[in-house]
Chain A
Amino acid sequence: MSSTMTVHDPRGYPPKVVGKRLASRLEALDGKILYLVDCLFDNSEPFMEQMQSWFAAHLPAVTTRIIKPRESWVDDPAMRATITADGDAAILGVGL
């Protein structure tokens, strides 16, 4: 029978995960302002333009506004403040 040995765990220390709750959902999108966040990934701009076009054709009572952060993959507090102040909902894309 082979002898046993004790070894170290090679992994680092993950941060504690703090739960965050989702925002309350809207009853309907009609009459609401929906921000389409172009995350700046290559070709996400025409994707968001097509999303905007889809809403115009299928849900015209929804106001859509395309908005962009200042840089790719960097939090933009000013953009978030605009959406929070003026918007009712947001779609982010195309992300990862």
Chain B
Amino acid sequence: MALEEAGVPTVAVHTHVFARLARATALANGMPRTRQAFVPQPIVDRSPAELRAYIEGIDPVSRRPFMQEVIEGLTQPLSAEDLKGVSFERSTPRLLAADTHDALQQLFVDNNWTDFLPIILPTEERVAAMLAGTSHAPDEVVGRLSPTSFREEWEFTVEKVAVNAVMAGARPEYLPVILAIAASGITARSSSTTSMTSIAVVNGPIRNQIGMNCGIGAMGPHNHANATIGRAYSLLSQNLQGGSVAGETYMGTLGNGLAYSPCFAENEERSPWQPLHVGKGFKAEDSAVSVFFGARYTQEGYGPRETWQEKMRRCLSAGAHFPPLLILDPIVARGFADHGITTSQQLIDWCAANALLPAREYWDDQWVQTLLRPLAVAGVEPYATRLAARDDEIVAMFEAREIHAGVVGGETQGAWKMIGARHMRTVSIDAWR
């Protein structure tokens, strides 16, 4: 659209499953009549001959020849409607029209404002009570969110976060954690086709002050604070960013169960290692939340047993391009000391040194191709070195700074999980008390 503004007639080509999203994006950018042409999905893995057939075939959206759409898009004279663009104010009201409980529940479902589980309706009284959980003014702007980098950002206030916290069933004392998560600016409802979500890991005294679970079942629905803070993160992400509607503002092909409630606390008391947030520059007595983005794959193991290195190497190389977030039960973390690993950094360094793939396999990945290859071509390290490697040459998948490890769990089993999730930000919770 910037090219059109600069006077260059342009046609944007998409695959047909993105037609609704492409049109909605054009409208939100004030250029609803942007010329677009569509080819069938997928493009990935199609041979040159198949791609040529797309080009010489029919646009599956307009049902007209694809190249005719393209050429006419560049040459057909504009109408008066094309020339004016569309400006408009959009506002969301503070309050909705009064209605019955059942009708409002249905309205929230119909408008895609829920996660399709029952919600607590955000009455004025409930929201006021929630706002008592922070010293910040209701109209203070907390931040902005969008489903993806190329979509518009929506702004939100403390009160809007509180509304979603009420809907999730959270208590006022949880609000500083929820505000800190919201202030991260990282959505838990990314529209990525790869079904990414985000995970929030809480550290510091607030874990115990609000009764978070970092022991048995910490990563599951077994604790009020964990469950409702995570659900609030999910709901606020979709509602404060302008939606997370399948086929329109959400394009994750498989979806992601972690998106329901992605929050837990680290078991600092039973961990032999420094807490996650201390590694991010906070003091142990600070409360902070670390947000990890991705969460597409999870692998698991037990031990560490005699063959832990072989097991972990397999898991590391099996993952996609997102670096691992290791979540270990305290039994596992302490057990690593018997293998000479006494700090989380030592384990991270071992993982970085052992997350290896032949270059051919490393580069034969859709997202490595899309996101990292352009950087490699531009000479950005370490990607350039990986791209220069021979097909059979072994390359490192991650740098140590990209890998994280935390201790969670109730010591009923020496279990660990490896989740593909990139650390995005660690935010002070104390700042939102």
Chain A interface residues toward B at CB < 8 A:
2-29, 34, 40-44, 46-47, 49-51, 53-54, 58, 68-75, 80, 83-84, 87-96
Partner of B113, one of A10, A23, A73: A10
Partner of A22, one of B34, B46, B366: B34
Stretch at the interface among B116-124, B331-339, B351-359: B116-124
- Asked whether B123 lies within 8 Å of A5 as measured between CB atoms, the reply is yes
B5's nearest neighbour on chain A, judged by CB, is: A20
B43 within 8 A of A: yes
- Asked whether B374 lies within 8 Å of A83 as measured between CB atoms, the reply is no
Interface size class of B (residues with CB under 8 A): 35 or more
A71's nearest neighbour on chain B, judged by CB, is: B374
Instruction: Using known A-B contacts A19-B87, A20-B1, A24-B78, determine if residue A7 contacts B121 with beta carbons closer than 8 Å.
Output: yes
Partner of A96, one of B21, B86, B101, B145: B21
B160's nearest neighbour on chain A, judged by CB, is: A12
CA A73 – CA B374 in complex, angstroms? 11
CA A49 – CA B38 in complex, angstroms? 17
- Asked whether A6 lies within 8 Å of B95 as measured between CB atoms, the reply is yes
CA A40 – CA B344 in complex, angstroms? 36
CA A74 – CA B31 in complex, angstroms? 19
- Asked whether A16 lies within 8 Å of B89 as measured between CB atoms, the reply is yes
Stretch at the interface among B151-159, B260-268, B391-399, B420-428: B151-159
Return chain A residues, CB-CB under 8 Å to B82: 21-22
Return chain B residues, CB-CB under 8 Å to A96: 14-15, 18, 21-22, 25, 251
- Asked whether A14 lies within 8 Å of B370 as measured between CB atoms, the reply is no
- Asked whether A51 lies within 8 Å of B55 as measured between CB atoms, the reply is yes
Return chain A residues, CB-CB under 8 Å to B102: 2
Partner of B74, one of A29, A70, A71, A74: A29
- Asked whether A80 lies within 8 Å of B10 as measured between CB atoms, the reply is no
- Asked whether B374 lies within 8 Å of A25 as measured between CB atoms, the reply is no
* Secondary structure dominating the interface of A: loop
Partner of B370, one of A6, A42, A90: A42
Closest 10 CB pairs of A and B: A19-B85, A93-B13, A12-B240, A19-B87, A12-B154, A12-B156, A96-B18, A2-B100, A42-B369, A11-B92
- Asked whether B113 lies within 8 Å of A11 as measured between CB atoms, the reply is yes
CA A29 – CA B76 in complex, angstroms? 11
A68's nearest neighbour on chain B, judged by CB, is: B374
A55's nearest neighbour on chain B, judged by CB, is: B67
A4 CB, min distance to chain B CBs, angstroms:
4
CA A95 – CA B36 in complex, angstroms? 10
Instruction: Using known A-B contacts A42-B369, A44-B43, determine if residue A94 contacts B84 with beta carbons closer than 8 Å.
Output: no
CA A95 – CA B3 in complex, angstroms? 15
- Asked whether B242 lies within 8 Å of A19 as measured between CB atoms, the reply is no
- Asked whether A20 lies within 8 Å of B31 as measured between CB atoms, the reply is yes
A79's nearest neighbour on chain B, judged by CB, is: B3
A44 CB, min distance to chain B CBs, angstroms:
6
- Asked whether B29 lies within 8 Å of A20 as measured between CB atoms, the reply is yes
A36's nearest neighbour on chain B, judged by CB, is: B13
Return chain A residues, CB-CB under 8 Å to B148: 73
CA A17 – CA B154 in complex, angstroms? 12
- Asked whether A26 lies within 8 Å of B100 as measured between CB atoms, the reply is no
- Asked whether B104 lies within 8 Å of A7 as measured between CB atoms, the reply is yes
CA A20 – CA B26 in complex, angstroms? 10
- Asked whether A90 lies within 8 Å of B374 as measured between CB atoms, the reply is no
Partner of A6, one of B52, B98, B167, B378: B98
